[in-house]
Structure 1
Amino acid sequence: MKTRERILHCALELFNEQGEPTVTTLDMANELDISPGNLYYHFKGKEPIIAELLEHFMATTRGLLLPEEEPDTQEPEDYWLFLHLLFEAIIQYRFLFRDLSSLMGRYDAVEQGMQLWLLALRRRFDQQLVALESDGHLLTDSASRQRLLDSQCQTLVYWLDYCRLGGNSSDAEEEPSQGVIQVLGLILPWLDEPTRDWLQALIERYEQA
């Protein structure tokens, strides 16, 4: 692994474990056993490191939020898999979602990048809800669907922060199932009976795993 890649890997681990505000470039250099000058050669401070990690996160989720082809139909299984993969990516880059407002206020790249990401997330959720509705699985009107859309986005973005405030962050950061269940639970009351029964059974299996 090249030094630049090692720095990014180390920074991600330290940010995730300790929180971004407490980690300095000197901490990274000490962890990697390289000189601060060597680290500075690759990154002129912490901000470009964060910006590049953000780019990696957005690249990781791009295929989920901006698929090259839209499927002809949207099945509940597809929706579940989408959520699972998305929460896996959020857990992998969870430092971005710890006190997100503060991070956006201190780093322009994070503010601009996460606003674009949230826009893409919202658009993708809406596409999926409309598709489920078109296929007869989702029973909502336009206003209810918009409220459901807002609730889904809020839960996904702030789930890890909520768990941290409740003292359950370690479990949520190790396994995406808790977050997936929360988002699935939001859509559950709006589904047709066969789909609701199927999804309820899936949630119960998730909870027992």
Structure 2
Amino acid sequence: MLTAKQLELLRFIDARLKATGVSPSFEEMKQALGLKSKSGVHRLVEALEERRFLRRLANRARALEVLRLPGEPVPPPAPVVDLAVARARAARSAAGPVAIPFAGRIAAGLPIEAVEDVETIEVPPALLGAGEHFALQVVGDSMVEAGILDGDFALIRRTEEARAGDIVVALIDGEEATLKYFHREKGMIRLDPANSAYAPQFFLPSRVRIQGKLAGLLRRY
């Protein structure tokens, strides 16, 4: 709930923006509200910012934006951008292709073969996040409802941990690898397809080793 002065200032700024497209100066706000100093205006503006009625626009003088008036819904928060992450992504985008191990085929139906690094494949760096990656070519149609098609190249981030709902490369009995949704159910590992024509597969945890999680896809046309 706004104080009388906060509401008066918000309405004054909103009216000025609608009339001229330019927010009033702090001196104009001080005079309009009958305040003795600009410090009082600053406190009111900060309070309106904290309650997400106002927003200051970066790198512009006298730049205020009215986000909402009383009774209107609170706007969603602006996304927080990690500067280090943004710089790393920009550097990867500017770089050339990255060679990652191509480990052969992996089933999107029944397991076919184990993951073994045999050659490399060049991948745009923007498709890769942090960590170590390898690529597998998908064979089968059991993940089509997840947008993973026969012949696609699955880009996998190496990890031995998975959460429910992750798409993982699961190594069965140390020799057969498959690409499926990962779940735990009643002491068992459940590997779910993304195709209603296929049934989930259940394994004892001792039979399953997670080798990575899906990070991206490459498709040839």
TM-score range, shorter chain: under 0.3
User: Which one has a larger percent helix, Structure 1 or Structure 2?
Assistant: 1
Higher RCO (C-alpha under 8 Å, 6+ residues apart): 1
TM-score normalised by the chain length of structure 1 = 0.25
